[in-house]
């Protein structure tokens, strides 16, 4: 890999003392990352600032940071926050150094992740992430000199709360976006997931289940062994080729430490996603 990506997030999550212990712990994250991240991603990554070369052999964590977005409530996007984002644009040419602080409020609400699927700012996410009227997307974009963090307000294009799935639009260019996996997943297929909130993790696919209470066949829910923490909702779940299989939706909580970590992801039929995006472009 030509350059190593470094993304630093300082996040203060003050959770109530009575909350159940998540089985998807930091140790689970580290263990899964150590096991699967060494496999790498068999997909090229465009890095214009590196003499317009296409890099390959990216680790899963770096690939996911470059192919995901962070959703933050507008209440955090104040002048101080904007100044911190501006500093990320001053990194040296050819170096991928993305560092800033995300001051998350008590209770950890008002943030999540999203998955870019077009070059003009359309993302997929979990519907429950869009719980605020004013939300912004942060995205690691590139020009010919450097990779830096861009941000813009976003709006909901499509939403299905039963499936926990949404399409959103931010007015920004998203040169690195994910292509959909066309074939179904086989049991124990290796998967990777994670947005910007935590160490990215690896796991395997287990099974498909109904995504909605009325068994709406437009959606698929995937059960995986991927670890997940609060804030990962909406993160892209990809295969080793870097193709999008779904967006993270829920995690298993419990007090039995020996339980295997599990999480779910959801995906709408890609052609239907594209249809909603085409309709939105025609309206705007």
- Profile the chain (284 residues) by mean pLDDT over runs of 10 residues: 37 28 53 66 76 70 87 79 66 48 49 93 94 86 79 94 96 94 93 73 88 90 84 89 93 51 89 98 95
Most distant CA pair in the chain, distance: 53
In a domain? residue 153: yes
- Predicted confidence at residue 89, as pLDDT, reads 60
Class of residue 11 by CB neighbours under 10 A (exposed 0-12, middle 13-18, buried 19+): middle
Has residue 257 been placed in a domain? no
Q: Residue 53: its pLDDT value, please? A: 64
In this structure, what CATH number is given to the domain that contains residue 61? 2.40.10.10
Distance CA 114, CA 117 (A): 10
In a domain, 112, yes or no: yes
How many domains is the chain partitioned into structurally?
1
Tell whether 114 is covered by a domain. Answer: yes
pLDDT value for 78: 76
Domain membership flag for residue 100: yes
Question: Does 229 reside within a domain?
Answer: no
Residue 202 lies in a domain: no
* pLDDT given for residue 28 in this prediction: 62
The pTM score is: 0.82
Phi then psi for residue 176, to 5 deg, are: -105, 115
User: What integer pLDDT is reported at residue 174 of this predicted model?
Assistant: 94
Residues 6+ apart with CB under 8 A from 212: 160, 162, 163, 219
Q: Which domain holds residue 67?
A: 6-17+40-178
Task: Tell whether 283 is covered by a domain.
Answer: no
Give the C-alpha separation, 125 to 20, whole Å: 25
- According to the model, what pLDDT value does residue 52 have? 61
């Amino acid at each position: 890999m030509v350059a190593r990506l470094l993304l630093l997030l300082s996040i203060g999550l003050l959770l109530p003392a009575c909350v159940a212990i998540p089985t998807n712990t930091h140790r689970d994250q580290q263990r899964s990352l150590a096991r699967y991240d060494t496999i790498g991603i068999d997909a090229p990554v465009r890095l214009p600032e590196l003499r317009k070369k296409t890099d390959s052999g990216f680790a899963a964590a770096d690939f996911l940071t470059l192919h995901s977005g962070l959703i933050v409530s507008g209440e955090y996007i104040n002048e101080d926050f904007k100044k911190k984002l501006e500093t990320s644009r001053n990194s040296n040419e050819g170096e991928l150094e993305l560092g800033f602080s995300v001051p998350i409020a008590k209770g950890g609400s008002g943030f999540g992740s999203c998955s870019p699927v077009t070059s003009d700012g359309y993302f997929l996410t979990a519907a429950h992430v869009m719980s605020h009227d004013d939300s912004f997307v942060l995205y690691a974009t590139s020009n010919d000199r450097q990779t830096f963090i861009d941000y813009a307000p976003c709006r909901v294009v499509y939403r299905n709360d039963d499936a926990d799935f949404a399409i959103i639009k931010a007015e920004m260019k998203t040169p690195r976006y994910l292509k959909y996996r066309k074939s179904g997943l086989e049991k124990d297929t290796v998967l990777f997931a994670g947005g910007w909130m935590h160490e990215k993790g690896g796991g395997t696919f287990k099974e498909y289940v109904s995504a909605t209470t009325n068994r709406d066949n437009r959606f698929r829910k995937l059960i995986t062994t991927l670890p997940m923490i609060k804030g990962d909702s909406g993160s892209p779940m990809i295969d080793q080729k870097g193709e999008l299989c779904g967006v993270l939706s829920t995690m298993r909580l419990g007090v039995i430490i020996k339980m295997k970590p599990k999480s779910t992801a959801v995906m709408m039929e890609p052609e239907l996603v594209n249809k909603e995006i085409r309709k939105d472009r025609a309206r705007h």
